[in-house]
Structure 1
């Protein structure tokens, strides 16, 4: 009997051999490109295939084969294929994989200088395209950025005139909206997997303009964001928000539970990505009973957060770089990229899309409002530090220990400060 690990290895090997050997160019001169995606889902793959069909119709000399590995193992399989340096021309590159892919020499630099579509992209898109090494190794196809979802009908009932604009106001509103007897709570807290992201968010906001956006866990003076009195104030408020304005079982909530808490009418506020908009729209919540606003700011008037993104790149070993680049550029043009963003609940990359009613009105408008506010600062996660993966796992456990009282805020902050101080030393040594 094969073990699960051996079966996974066998499947990965089959995929690698398939990609490496299938579909050479035919005698008629048709170029065959192979493209592999990462964040796969049935609806997304269907939409991507329709865009590829449009590309093929406009470029009859090019055929594209789309490879869609299972979501859970896609990045691992892409890495395995890249190690063979054959079999893939266009690939999905994520913010978490861009650095390693480029460092290993697997990505080609895209010739954006003579591409007219480059100037049609938003400033954020062009910035993220060259985030790794200052070179355009990918063109992002959309962004994930958090905003505050709130029950406008609950706020009106409670006499709260405006959605919370600061973390203190968020805490005050959450406490005011909470009625434990009615199982009604102010805020959808995330204490489970991914909970540390929210601790980073509030601590960053409290440190404000002292944070170095390019090294987001560090201040401009080189110290960590965990080392300041403001960090202690932030984490104290973070714990009170959980204890006084959130369900007790949210100590273990991750993404699905916190969203369900909001859409089911248990909680009145939620901080999440744009993909939640569709979920809320399809829920039983009253259409005029909820809205969105930019994420809360700290005492100094700043809010800081990274944006999640992924995009399309070309492999350095592709034998058809010109045609592969043409496909990436086609998918990144306004019409195609906006269609893809709408289908996947992404913040669009095209300037023209910001005038589209879907993005310029209603719940989406808060994302554009945040991008237009220079106090809503986009940061870069320190993913290129050697201990990033270790940090992600350990930090979530620390948050649970903090919420259950097994660790104090000072315990957590001291540990994180020591860890990231050591990371800075390792990176420069």
Structure 2
């Protein structure tokens, strides 16, 4: 898959550095040449000897190495690669990247290159969630950095949450997608997926039956065509695909915020089943059932219209905006009206009546509605629906 490709792998200082050894093995197996750069802190977790043995290449560690500077130099080292990968990317290393600092070999290489850069963050959950780290992430993504992960899980410190470095296989998939010569190479596509959960009280919420399977399949198909995919997902049943930037949210308002943060994009595929309403005032404690008392009364407020917000954006509207219409009756009429009302370019309409088995099932039967009319597709596996839609998106973006 990666035959002839050169990867410059920067290994930062964190316990997740041990995963970099498996990543090197997978990259080599896929045919890539791996040039490793080990930071001073990274060498506290993995040794230069083990890294060099797996890579079959010299390990670079010092900025002021007379021999290295005479033979190649850090400038040339940063430019002969097809992709720079930072794994693990620690909070400190990403802060240096965001600030443009160059006080060691790794940060100097990252500053001195015009080659695409991918980072696999790894840190304590509090460090990941800290406003400073999130500010740095936004800066770096604005500069074109590709992120893979972090995953949710148990930390070495015993805490649980986002911050685990993505698994080596997932990073390999992301690298393969980044170096793909598919028709969407160099394009950024935003995909929303899954349901949203609108809290009533600390233990109850309003939701729908969306599994997130179709949105996940679309994100994977776009990735396979070479796109850089930002995948904003509600609490879906199916796991997100490898090789995309995953942003997890719960509510419609959080999804809107994540979507706005992901823009600009070349295309947006709004496949999420966003709840139309939320409880106007969320209860701060669990609503108790009291014998003989009347059922509680709930007041509702309308959620933000994410599709309309993106489609009618004045300054950051993607070239192509694709909406979804899941209907139970008068499917085409409702979908065509929705396309006109929201201002999107395409609508993917489907019948989710209980007898169809579409909602939460493995297959889908959709009609693609564009300015040219309605194009019904046969009932297909959701992966195939996604593949066809991804190809059409690539054609539309030229």
Work out whether the TM-score is over 0.5: no
For CA contacts below 8 A with separation 6 or more, give which structure has more relative contact order.
1
Q: TM-score, with normalisation over the residues of structure 1?
A: 0.24
The structure where helix makes up a greater share of residues is 1
TM-score normalised to the size of structure 2?
A: 0.25
